[in-house]
Chain A
Amino acid sequence: MSDGPEPPYEGSASLRLANGPLVGPVLCRVVSMVLARANCPMDRLEDAMLICDALSAHAQTHAADGHLTFSVSARGGEFELRVSELPEQGASRLVEDAVLPGVGNVLERMADQLRIEPAADGAGEELVLGLSF
């Protein structure tokens, strides 16, 4: 018996992957697990998977040194996915690449928030994507 409503789930994970076949499958599985635990509805989970697919398809060509870091967090109906280790202009090029014919830009259409920030260590850029659910 609990004394009250459960506190909202707060989950986070940081993932650093070598460029190559691991990026797509591992990113999608980790993001889907974090969102599932946060009780994300199915339609938003599918949006997140499309975002992951677009990122894994294009981010590898923009990685600064052969690795990419993805930081995911979910709390209170908000999900954030941060892509790091992108070179200068890498984040904007990544967004530009995520265009599907007849669909448009997947990242801009699916994400509720999209912004580009300078990397915390001053080297390169980070792409930050947000989803609300």
Chain B
Amino acid sequence: MTPDMQLALPARAENIAIVRHAFGALGDAYALDPQTLSDIRLAVTEACTNVVVHAYPDGREGPMEVLATLMGDALTVVVRDEGKGIGPRPDSPGLGLGLPLIASLTESVRLGRDGGEHTEVRMTFSLTDAPHHHGATAHDAVSLVADPPLSQ
């Protein structure tokens, strides 16, 4: 399905603000509940931050893409990059809380590779229910999809 919104930017920290503003506009256009929009923007910010911090660790600049598709009462957001893939990183500068936070804000989240060279985080948000109403823990909601296996 063709996304309703597809945003491609260089993976730089300052561009995360542009993504957040784009989702603010999406929330206005679709008249999203403010709390739901806040959750969406926070989860997307975390996913984009992961791209900026982890996807291109050797200093080269790479792309960051954000795709949003509205289907019925669900919004699917994919954040993807052309980096090295998702995996353990002992030298990570972060606290490692990004993915659990994303999971707690979404209906479901899948990590993996698309059919091409992209590493992606695929998040689904329910637009009718706040995620904390589902009773899912962060661990329950995360699934790791590696086909082909994720690189590190």
Contacts and interface: CB of A to CB of B under 8 A. Distances in A.
A30 B26 contact: no
A13 B15 contact: yes
Interface in B1-46: 2-10, 14-15, 17-18, 21-22, 24-26, 28-30
Given A21-B30, A33-B18, A34-B18, A15 B25 contact: no
Interface in A37-55: 37
Interface string A1-33: 000000000011111111011101110111011
Contacts of B14: 11, 37
A30 B29 contact: no
Contact of A16 (B6, B15, B24, B25): B6
Question: Size range of the interface on A?
Answer: 20 to 34
A25 B24 CA distance: 9
Contact of A17 (B4, B8, B10): B4
Interface residues of B, number: 21
Contacts of B18: 13, 30, 33-34
A17 B25 CA distance: 12
A58 interface: no
B26 A22 contact: yes
B125 to A, nearest CB: 16
A18 B4 contact: yes
A67 interface: yes
B3 A26 contact: no
B12 to A, nearest CB: 9
B30 A26 contact: no
A13 B5 contact: no
A35 to B, nearest CB: 11
Contacts of A11: 14-15
Contacts of B5: 15-18, 22, 26
Contacts of B25: 22, 25-26, 28-30
Contacts of B6: 15-17
A22 B4 contact: yes
A25 B28 contact: yes
Contact of A29 (B3, B4, B15, B22): B22
A30 B2 contact: no
B9 A13 contact: yes
